[in-house]
Amino acid sequence: MKRLELFVENIILASRWLLVAFYIGLGVALALYAFTFFVKLWDFGSHILELGETETILKVLGLIDAALIASLVVMVLISGYENFVSRFDNEEEVHWLGQIDAGSLKIKVASTIVAISSIHLLQIFLNVPTYGDQDIFWYTVLHVTFIVSALFLAPIDRISKKPQNSSGPQI
C-alpha cells in the first residue's frame, strides 16, 4: 500500500511540470504584447507633432499601461515558475527571485491591477465627453473594487504568515 501511495505522490509532484506549458505560453504572449507596444510607440512617435497635450498624455498613459501589464506578466511568469515548478539555478543574476512567495505575488499582482485600473480611469477622465455618466460610474465602481480587494490582501497575507500557536491543534 505504501508503494501505491508513493507512486501517486510522485505523479502528483511531477504534474507541476505541466505548468511549464503555461509559463512558456505567457512568455510568447509577452513577446506578442511587446510587438503591439512597439506598434503603439511607432504610431505615437509618427504623430507626435499633430497631437495636442491631452492626446499626448493619453498616448503616454497607454504606453505606461502596457509596461505595467508586461511587468505583471513577468511577475507571474517568474514567480509562478519559481514557487510552483523549480528554483532557478542562476539566482545570483536575479537575487530577488526567492523573495516573492505566493502571498507576496498576490499582493504585487493586486497592486499592479490597481495601478493599471488607475491609469485606465485617468484616461477615461481625460476623455470624459466620449463616455456616458453610467459608464464613468461603473468604471469608478470597478476601480474602487480593485482598491478594496488589494487592501484586504495585505492583512490576509499577514495573518496567514503568523506562526501557529504550538499548544493548539495543528491543521
Residue 165 burial (C-beta neighbours within 10 Å; 0-12, 13-18, 19+): exposed
pLDDT in tens, 46-71: 999 999 888 899 899 999 999 999 98
Mean predicted confidence (pLDDT) in 76-92: 79
- Collapsing DSSP to helix, strand or coil, 131 comes out as coil
pLDDT in tens, 8-39: 998 998 898 999 999 999 999 999 999 999 99
Q: What is the pLDDT of residue 125?
A: 87
Q: What is the pLDDT of residue 144?
A: 92
Please tell me the least confidently modeled range out of 28-37, 73-82, 123-132, 160-169.
Answer: 160-169
* 170 or 10, which is more confident: 10
- Count of CB atoms situated within 10 Å of the CB of 52: 8
Annotated domain spans of the chain: 13-160
